[in-house]
Amino acid sequence: MVGGVSFCYNRYMATKIYESGFIQLIDGTVLHINPLKIVYLRDFMDEFSNFGKAQSEEETMDILLICGAIAMRQYHPQIATKELLEDSIDMDTLYDLLDFSAGIQLKNKEETQDTPQKQVSDNPPTWENMDLAALESEAFLLGIWKDYEELEKSLSLPELMSTLNAKRDADYAEKKFLAAIQGVDLDEQSGKNNEPDAWESMKARVFSGGATSDPDDILALQGTNAQKAGFGIGMGLAYEKWD
């Protein structure tokens, strides 16, 4: 890895569906990075699921470089291999690439790390932990895409979730209106869905080594997630696991 490459970024307003930004490669090429389309995110998460199994810093970096190379299939196919990416990007910029493309935050924005922190797990979570097929099937009923391949090439996961949330809200509003006509308070009867975001749940499983899918669980606040939050396991707190 070659250091000294500057990084510029642009965080969008909270009203945007997702965050995106710019990274600069060693040769000066500037790339706009937004969330990966699902077709690439599948391969990305298949590789990233090995993150917790890496036994050395070298293995950890190989996994992250392969993930970065997969992301480059969308942003800059000319360097979409581990070897080419390694010659084209520095460590900080790689971390920013993973952050903007998949929401994987592996560094503290206040401090630069030489190597990412990780949690080792004998049974790391995989892409199959998320029922993506069910989410895509629900979105496919909108009748916009000719097949699932076109859907996966068209949408990123944040876009898919935003589309589904809008659809669900519209469906719920219609049911609530019809129920109100009959004197029924649907909010009181059914309650709103307070389940955590599916993508945040997946990241919690990765960072906790499969111990939890709750983003607010203390087990998810380990390593770099603990640094980001300012506390957590490995940041002055300890915990015991009871059988």
Q: Mean per-residue pLDDT for 1-7?
A: 36
Higher pLDDT, 54 or 72: 72
Tell me how far apart the alpha carbons of residues 104 and 138 are, in angstroms, rounded to a whole number.
Answer: 26
Most confident of 25-39, 133-147, 176-190, 204-218: 25-39
Nearest to 223 by CA among 77, 94, 118, 67: 118
Q: Which whole number is the average pLDDT over 33-55?
A: 91
CA 232/CA 243 separation, integer angstroms: 22
What does the DSSP 8-state code read for residue 11? P
Kindly state the average pLDDT of the residues 140-149: 93
pLDDT at 182: 79
Q: Taking Cα atoms as reference points, which of 104, 10, 117, 112 lies closest to residue 48?
A: 104
Confidence band (pLDDT; 50, 70, 90) for 137? very high
DSSP state of 222: B
Tell me if the pTM is above 0.85: no
